[in-house]
Amino acid sequence: MGPLKAIASCYVNILNFSGRARRAEYWWFALFLAVAATAAQIGLGYVFARDPELLLRVTDASASKAFFDNNTELLYYIGYFYAGYIVLGWLPQLSVTVRRLHDTDRSGWFILMPTAVTILALVGAVFLIPFLGSPESAMPIILMVATVPLIASVWFLVVLCLPGTHGNNRFGPDPAPDRKRPPPAHPAFVKQLPDDVREAVQAKNQSDFAEYYRTRVAPAIQQNKAARSG
């Protein structure tokens, strides 16, 4: 899947929180949003660089209030901007993330995992710090608690990079049916494979068995016969 097809798929499925999304669809759209955000920041920086007074009116609280009181129509444009961001950025990113998690056979609720871990870490720190005494003794616990959300975020990123499950899973058909399926080395997995792959594995096992019989078993039988006749 190329970048244009991936971006188009994300917008077509903007309200689709079922089914699955392959890695290419997710990461091409993530790159598209990153490029768009970078371009917007560069453009905003250029505007502020040309008009430093505008930057002062926006960042200073009193000046900002007076500026927007005199330019109330700008509030509508800001509202349009945030509405456009939700429709063109946040919502399709949310839906493709849920479908990417489905592709790894995980529930879409897994998207809340980093936030839930962060909240639990903060709550745990609040309960533990009063029992640790001085701030010096509490510092190692604080550092450990601070690393827990980071670990959760890294693990969430790793999950988004994992390949999807082969074949159908509980969330729908494989979005990449042409992906290569490595045959398992042990015949115990044959019943879990599609028909064509199962037949290929069975044929390979029969070929290996025939080769083993020809090179190992048959010579041993001949040697036993020769020894008995001798």
**Where do we find the tokens 């330019």?**
71
DSSP assignment letter at 182: P
Spell out the per-residue pLDDT of the chain, length 230, in tens: 788 999 999 999 999 998 999 989 999 999 999 999 999 889 888 877 877 777 666 676 676 777 667 767 777 777 888 888 898 889 999 999 999 999 999 998 999 999 998 888 888 777 776 766 666 666 777 777 778 888 999 999 999 998 888 888 888 888 887 766 655 555 555 556 666 777 787 888 888 888 888 888 888 888 877 777 76
Structure tokens at 77: 């444009």
Q: Containing H/E element for 136?
A: helix 135-161
Query: What pLDDT shows up at residue 82?
Result: 87
- Beta-carbon-side half-sphere exposure of residue 139 (alpha carbons within 13 Å): 4
pTM attached to this predicted model: 0.68
